[in-house]
Amino acid sequence: DTGVSQDPRHKITKRGQNVTFRCDPISEHNRLYWYRQTLGQGPEFLTYFQNEAQLEKSRLLSDRFSAERPKGSFSTLEIQRTEQGDSAMYLCASSPRQGADADTQYFGPGTRLTVL
Amino acid sequence: AQSVTQLGSHVSVSEGALVLLRCNYSSSVPPYLFWYVQYPNQGLQLLLKYTTGATLVKGINGFEAEFKKSETSFHLTKPSAHMSDAAEYFCAVSINDYKLSFGAGTTVTVRA
């Protein structure tokens, strides 16, 4: 069990550029979540996958955001035409579908995005 | 809908003193409650959780929390603070099995 990994850890981009983040969940965790955390705030839910199916999207996830989880393994979060308001830490988490830890989300280290 | 309020954005304690972080929740159905800790530039680490059963739950690093339904609270305590406890702490609530709603967080500093 190597934990949830995210890549890159830091991303600096210019306004209007597209960015893509990757999340690798704990192996055999079939649930994967994305959250956004802005400075001084707690994480806010963005979206959730069970296997490859995206089951819920927050209203925070505008049309410029898209998330995928092909084959139910890793996931990508893409932001198109970035805006300064997109600057935040993007956190990924995973959990198993069943068992004693089914209600527990394990978080990765996050990707910190800065939009200039 | 569910929500969490953490009272006090900053708490300062002396090494060896009691740590008390307050969390109140709002939920229309029985909630699952969690405390996470976040160190600088890192992700969140689970300290403890309440789902069902015993209302006093023990977690890692000597932390514990008590679920009080009548007070809609889930306060986090540690009898004796250590320098390594300096971090940001988040209370979270879930009423389904996939979405966590977090409080704004409490930053703990420990004075030598």
User: Mind listing the pLDDT tens digit for each residue in A76-112?
Assistant: 999 999 999 999 999 999 998 788 778 889 999 999 9
Residue range A11-17: mean pLDDT, rounded: 97
Using the Cα atoms of residue B80, residue B48, residue A26 and residue B106 in order, give the sign of their dihedral.
Answer: negative
Expressed in angstroms, the distance from the first to the final Cα of chain B is: 41
To the nearest whole number, what is the mean pLDDT of chain A? 93
* CA separation for the pair A65, A77 (Å, rounded): 7
Residue A44 has pLDDT above 90, yes or no: yes
Do the Cβ atoms of A107 and B44 come within 8 Å? yes
The per-residue pLDDT for A1 is: 55
A51's CB contacts (< 8 A; 6+ apart) are A30, A69, A72
Residue A84 backbone dihedrals phi, psi, to 5 degrees? -60, -30
Distance between CA atoms of residues B31 and B25, nearest Å: 9
Q: Is A104 on the interface with B (CB under 8 A)?
A: yes
State the smallest CA–CA distance between residue A46 and chain B in angstroms.
9
Are A48 and B98 in contact (CB < 8 Å)? Answer: yes
Listed by number, the residues of chain A in 45-64 with a beta carbon closer than 8 Å to a beta carbon of chain B are 45, 48, 50, 55-56
Closest A-chain CA to B43: A109
pLDDT confidence band for A71 (50 / 70 / 90): confident
Q: What is the pLDDT of residue B84?
A: 94
Least CB-CB distance to A102: which of B9, B44, B97? B97
Name chain B contacts of A104, Cβ cutoff 8 Å.
34, 46, 49
In angstroms, the CA A43 to CA A4 distance is 16
Predicted pLDDT at A25:
96
pLDDT given for residue A24 in this prediction: 97
| For chain A, percent of residues with pLDDT exceeding 90 | 77
Please give the pLDDT value at position B33: 94
In the prediction, which pLDDT does B97 show? 66
Which among B32, B46, B102 has CB closest to A43? B102
Distance CA A68, CA A83 (A): 21
- Residues of chain B scoring pLDDT < 70: 97
User: What is the sign, positive or negative, of the torsion defined by CA atoms of B47, B69, B95, B21?
Assistant: negative
A44 touches chain B (CB under 8 A): yes
Q: Do A107 and B45 touch (CB under 8 A)?
A: yes
Nearest-angstrom CA–CA distance, A6 and B17: 36
Q: Using CA of residue B109, residue B9, residue B19, residue A100, what is the dihedral sign?
A: negative
Q: How far apart are the C-alpha atoms of A22 and A24, rounded to whole Å? A: 7
Strands B32-38 and B87-94: antiparallel
